[in-house]
Amino acid sequence: MSNNHRVVITGLGVISPLGRELAPFWNNLANETSGIGPLTSLPLEIIPCKFGGQASCFTGDIAEFGPLDKNLQRSIKKNQKVMCREIEMGVAACQLALFDSGLADPQLRTPERFGIVFGSDYIITRPEEYADGINACRDESHAFQMPKWPQTGRPQVNPLWLLKYLPNMPASHVAIYNDLRGPSNSVTIREASSAASIVEAVSAIRRGAADVMIAGATGSRMEPLRALNFMSTEPMAKNRDNPAEMARPYDIDRDGNLVGEGSGALVLESFEHASARGAKIWGEIVGGASSAVGDVTGKNAERDHIRTAIKNVSKILLDQAARAGVDLSPGQWHFHGCGKSDVQGDASEASGIRDALGNLDVPVTAAKSYFGNLGAGSGAVEIIASLLALEHQQLFPVLNTKSTDPRCPIRVAKSSDPAGKAFAHVAYSAQGQACGVFVRRI
């Protein structure tokens, strides 16, 4: 990324299992309170994992989108009929971030210089969308008759159903509601989506295409088909009597992922633009990087591609931070890992981090230990967690990691570790896509 314009963070918005606003979200982290609990939104009779990180703080009520004027309230409420839950959470996080930035008033924005890059998972259509059409095509024995579908079944399907599940819709809705006419894009690379969105938004500002951008992502593993797919393709944590102990990144006793849902959004501005309006600055993004490494063996057993991707991204971030004059000595910064609690994934990730850090003694935290895997939304929520840790000068430890696995050669963060004045955040997908950012306080 070029360095023509410094880019700072001036607004934060979060929807998560730990809370819908910054204060409760941070208080839960600071008090080491888990957001993992019994699942109530999934059919437990067919779901093997009974616990996860639900964003129960968000019901979709218009009041949960933050302070809005009446016209904006009406617009969002009217269009919620074409928003699935993931899209609703994404729009809400963006509106909360806009309000936090002080740019909620349209009079304070220049539409042509304000854009958005937002990420999401691949959003799966709920089977209920087709239920009426399918029922209309059943015969007397209730068997589905495919020849009847074009004339009888298809007309029963809402013609706008697809709008509820398109991954570009969070960015589209937010841009339309707030008259953002600058660069607009959407990213769908699973857990790496948040950082990739931020890196692209930063690039737009640095190359002079925009003064302000919204970036982040939304994600959910709570939709029934998504949950079944995730639980059949990824190692899952075993049910425990105390669900708060199930997410345990880097621990020798970890046994897999947990489903979750959430969204995070950041308002990014050029330093000049933010300074001119006297904005509160949460931090400055001094580096961003991505890497994609495929599994050339086809076995995917040791996940060396994950280790390589994490190492590539982390080394670039450290080089960028050093060139920006960031103090990388012990106690001055922390590393925020992906920490899925995947047995092999954590080992590969931790080895990649250590490859990049060398002898640097840096605490590594992982907010997924508090709320599970939020999919594409994980990274943005985790970056906000680290920004709040810098703000409060208190690093939240990794929950439940009592004995670090020897195959994870990192120093897992404890409650006594300092947050420092900066942090690196790196996330990866199981397919080998990794992306990260380096942020400092100014």
DSSP string, 301-366: SS-HHHHHHHHHHHHHHHHHHHHTT---STTS-EEE------HHHHHHHHHHHHHHHTT---EEE-
One domain for residues 155 and 247? no
Q: Distance (Å, rounded) from C-alpha 212 to C-alpha 12?
A: 14
| 2 falls within a domain | no
Specify the pLDDT at position 41: 83
One domain for residues 158 and 187? no
Specify the pLDDT at position 52: 94
Cα-based distances in Å from 46 to 43, 126, 227, 229, 334: 6, 16, 10, 12, 40
Specify the pLDDT at position 346: 97
One domain for residues 156 and 85? no
In 3D space, the residue among 294, 272, 293 whose CA is nearest the CA of residue 284 turns out to be: 272
Which residues span the domain enclosing 226? Answer: 7-124+165-440
One domain for residues 158 and 215? no
One domain for residues 133 and 224? no
Q: Residue 150, SS3? A: helix
One domain for residues 27 and 98? yes
| 397 falls within a domain | yes
pTM of the model: 0.95
One domain for residues 318 and 266? yes
Neighbours of 4 (CB within 10 A): 10
| 1 falls within a domain | no
One domain for residues 108 and 236? yes
One domain for residues 132 and 205? no
One domain for residues 392 and 284? yes
One domain for residues 64 and 133? no
Reported as type and span, the H/E element at residue 388 is helix 378-392
Tell how strand 259-270 and strand 7-15 pair up: antiparallel
> Could you say which residues of the chain have pLDDT below 70?
1-3, 297-302
Interval 321-349: pLDDT, tens: 999 999 999 999 999 999 999 999 999 99
Q: Distance (Å, rounded) from C-alpha 372 to C-alpha 383?
A: 15
Report the number of distinct structural domains present in the chain.
Answer: 2
